Each structure stands twice: as C-alpha cells, then as structure tokens.
C-alpha cells in the first residue's frame, strides 16, 4: 500500500448491532426494515461524542444486502441514515448495497468501504479502529490494517478471528480505544 502519510484517525463503526439494535431471528441478526424499527442502542451517542472529542472521525461502514435482494428500498435506507445523522455525531456513512453474488469490492469482509473512506478523508488506517459485531467486520478491518474490536452480541454464528479485544457494546469499545 505504500507509506501512510495520512494523519487523521478514525473509528469505523458497523451499523446493525453496534449503533442500532438488530432484529434477531433464530440467533442471527438482521437489519431493521424502516426508520420505525431503527432503535439506537443505549450509550451509543455518548460513546461517539467522546470519540469525536478525542479527535476521531466517525465513519459508519455497513453492508445492506437487502437493497440488492429487493427487500429494502433506497428510500427506506436513506431515511434510516438521515435519522442516524440527525441523532449522532457521524462524519460519514458508507453503504454496500450488494449481496455476496455481486462480487463487489465494498462488501465486507472486503475492505473497500474502509479503504475508500481513508483515501477520501485522509485517514491513517494504522492509527484507526474498526468496531463490528460480526466476523465480516473484523476481517475487513484487519485487511485494511486497522485495529479491530469485536462487539460480542451473542449471535448463533461463528466468532471472528484476530480482534484486538472483545467487548459487549460500543461504549466499552470507546472506553478501550480512549485508553490506548
């Protein structure tokens, strides 16, 4: 990748399960279908505010394959993100609307969303963090060269390999980041 001359630090945060409550069915998490189902988790606003005050850019990176599958409209997705932007101190929201079969570069576990945001916003990946609740988030962060933090929500699915730390919430993740 060459020499990292960027100086800005960021916390890349997954959306469903980290910022907002997922819809859990059969032990697996699913995205809310509309703004009415979107519920920001306790402690998220405070955690993001503390990270922002410490100088971090805050970038949401989220897979939303329901768009490609035709079960989530762009309008519903835009409404949810407008609600998040109005409630939380976010600098950017990056979305992959594709499904695995689309073989895009942006769908986590590929690091495309993180890499594009870093290029466009002048972010040092080595000085940044990825916080996620699924193996795809951790794999994307590790591939991008960020420190990774796994939010263990107790889903009935494989746990990720190689996270720097495992926590139970974004608030715990922020506490750990700020202690580094």
CA distance 41 to 45: 8
- Given 16, 99, 105, 152, which residue is catalytic? 16
Q: Which distant-in-sequence residues (6+ apart) come within 8 Å of 11 by Cβ? A: 51, 56, 57, 58, 59, 128, 129, 130, 131, 174, 177
Determine the Cα–Cα distance for residues 151 and 47; give it in Å rounded to an integer.
14
Q: Which helix (H) or strand (E) holds 148?
A: strand 147-151
**Whether 14 is catalytic:** yes
- Closest alpha carbon to 13 in 106, 103, 113: 113
Beta-carbon contacts of residue 169 (< 8 Å; ≥ 6 apart): 41, 42, 43, 47, 151
Look at the alpha carbons of 159, 91, 114, 149 in this order and tell me if their dihedral is positive or negative.
Answer: negative
Cβ-proximal residues to 53 (8 Å cutoff; 6+ apart), any chain: none
Catalytic residue among 14, 78, 99, 152: 14
Which residues are known to be catalytic? 14, 16
């Amino acid at each position: 990748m060459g020499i990292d001359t960027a100086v800005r630090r960021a916390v890349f945060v997954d959306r469903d399960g980290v910022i907002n409550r997922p819809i859990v069915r059969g032990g697996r998490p699913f995205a809310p279908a509309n703004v009415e189902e979107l519920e920001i988790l306790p402690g998220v606003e405070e955690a993001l505010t503390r990270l922002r005050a410490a100088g971090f850019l805050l970038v949401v990176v989220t897979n939303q394959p329901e768009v490609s599958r035709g079960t989530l409209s762009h309008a519903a997705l835009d409404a949810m993100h407008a609600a998040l932007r109005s409630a939380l101190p976010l600098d950017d929201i990056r979305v992959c609307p594709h499904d695995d079969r689309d073989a895009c570069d942006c769908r986590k576990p590929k690091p495309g969303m993180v890499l594009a945001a870093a290029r466009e916003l002048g972010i040092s990946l080595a000085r940044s963090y990825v916080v996620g609740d699924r193996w795809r988030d951790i794999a994307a962060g590790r591939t991008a060269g960020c420190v990774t933090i796994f939010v263990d929500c107790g889903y009935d699915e494989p746990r990720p390999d190689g996270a720097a730390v495992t926590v139970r919430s974004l608030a715990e993740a922020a506490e750990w980041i700020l202690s580094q």
